[in-house]
Amino acid sequence: MYELIKKVMFRFQPETAHDIVELGLRVVGSYTPALLSPFASTFFISDARLHQNLLGTTFHNPVGLGAGFDKNATMLKGLTALGFGHIEFGTITPKAQPGNPKPRLFRYPEKESVQNAMGFNNEGLVKVKKRLESLYPFATPLGANIGKNKATTPENALEDYRILIEGLKDLCDFMVINVSSPNTPGLRDLQNEAFIGELFTMAKTLTSKPILLKISPDMEMDAALKLCECAINHGAHGIVATNTTTEYTLLQGAQSFGGLSGRVLTQKSNAFFKPLAEAFFGKTVLISVGGISDADEAYERLLEGASLVQVYSAFIFQGPSLNKRINEGILARMNQDGFHHIQEAIGARR
């Protein structure tokens, strides 16, 4: 059925198609929640062998939705029914902003890849906070991805993150610091030890809620390792690796702006994650994202040391059955390898 739906939806421009999906999930979640039960019973995998207690909450399966799909936390009920073990919404900025000029979202079906130059378009903290107040606590762990406004100078960026942490600390299960998107000018310049150290030091004074750092796959590995170590030493509860890439040579016909995600990122994200896992597995929570589209790749990241994985582009191309297939595939591979619980598999290569 999804293949039929996809044929229709892919006739629309990518951002228009996304808006249609958002409207549908928002309406169903808000006005006809009874329709969600059949989807949840079909797609949601809750097997005790996959349960983990992490970041102060329980994850019923390891497959989550990466940031960028539900920017304003409008689709949470509908997305949970589609099988996600956690949802990272956002990126949220203190003030509402329209994002970059359109067109800014491009799909490449033959490569199951997406290129986006959205630019943190979102409704801002006030509106999103009000929405979350009617939802939280939520059935599925929620992560808030937070970033600075485009107009905020690097000198004032710390204040943006302070506002966001204080505003969202009681309305999510964990927060993710986004300084790695390629679509906000100057944002990646904040991927330096001085700023990250100051940010996480400040964060500890504001909340005990887990806060993680999301990093770019385009960093030099030595710099990435030092940055992650700095974040952990200053109180970060985990690392999310990775964001999208600006290595446009990975995709023939790519635009010259924005970030690439999907299958074209698989090899790069996997290769980037391995030395991070080697350095920090057992020291902090690791979440792997980037080009994960099947159980083989998800299981690979778990064996390397990821406690959780996230999908984004693959969900667009494969639909709601993706989560079920990945989770069932992980369980099958665990059986083959003699693992009785997912925690035995996580970091088995370390």
- Give domain status of residue 248, yes or no: yes
- Give domain status of residue 92, yes or no: yes
Q: Which two tokens stand for residue 79?
A: 């997305």
End-to-end CA distance of the chain: 41
The residue behind tokens 């974040």 is 231
- Give domain status of residue 272, yes or no: yes
pLDDT, residue 34, reads 84
- Give domain status of residue 113, yes or no: yes
- Phi then psi for residue 142, to 5 deg, are -115, 130
Q: How far apart are CA 106 and CA 242, in angstroms?
A: 20
In the chain, how many domains are there? Answer: 1
- Give domain status of residue 350, yes or no: no
Closest CA to 280 of 240, 245, 244: 240
Query: Measured in whole angstroms, how far is the alpha carbon of residue 206 from the centre of its chain?
Result: 23
Query: Which residues, in sequence order, are bridge partners of residue 175?
Result: 144, 211
Across the beta sheet with 105-108, the strand order is 105-108, 113-116, 259-262
pTM exceeds 0.95 = yes
- Which residues in the chain land under pLDDT 50? none
- Give domain status of residue 201, yes or no: yes
Dihedral in degrees, nearest 10, Cα atoms 304, 54, 209, 225: -10
Residue 142 DSSP SS3:
strand
pLDDT, residue 83, reads 96
CATH number for 312: 3.20.20.70
Q: Which two tokens stand for residue 331?
A: 């369980």
Catalytic residues: 181
Cβ atoms within 10 Å, residue 310 = 26
Q: Which two tokens stand for residue 48?
A: 């005790």
Query: Which residues, in sequence order, are bridge partners of residue 58?
Result: 53
Residue 276 DSSP SS3:
helix
The residue behind tokens 């996304």 is 18
Alpha helices in 151-294 (DSSP H): 157-168, 193-206, 221-233, 266-280
Q: Taking a C-beta distance cutoff of 8 angstroms, is the pair 172, 210 a contact?
A: no
- Give domain status of residue 25, yes or no: yes
- Residue range of the domain that includes 315: 2-345
Strands 142-146 and 105-108: unpaired
Please compute Rg for the chain using Cα positions. Answer: 19
pLDDT, residue 338, reads 98
The residue behind tokens 């003030």 is 95
Please count the residues of the chain: 350
Q: How many CA atoms lie within 13 A of 346 on its CB side?
A: 21
- Give domain status of residue 68, yes or no: yes
Cβ atoms within 10 Å, residue 53 = 9
Q: Which two tokens stand for residue 163?
A: 């506002």
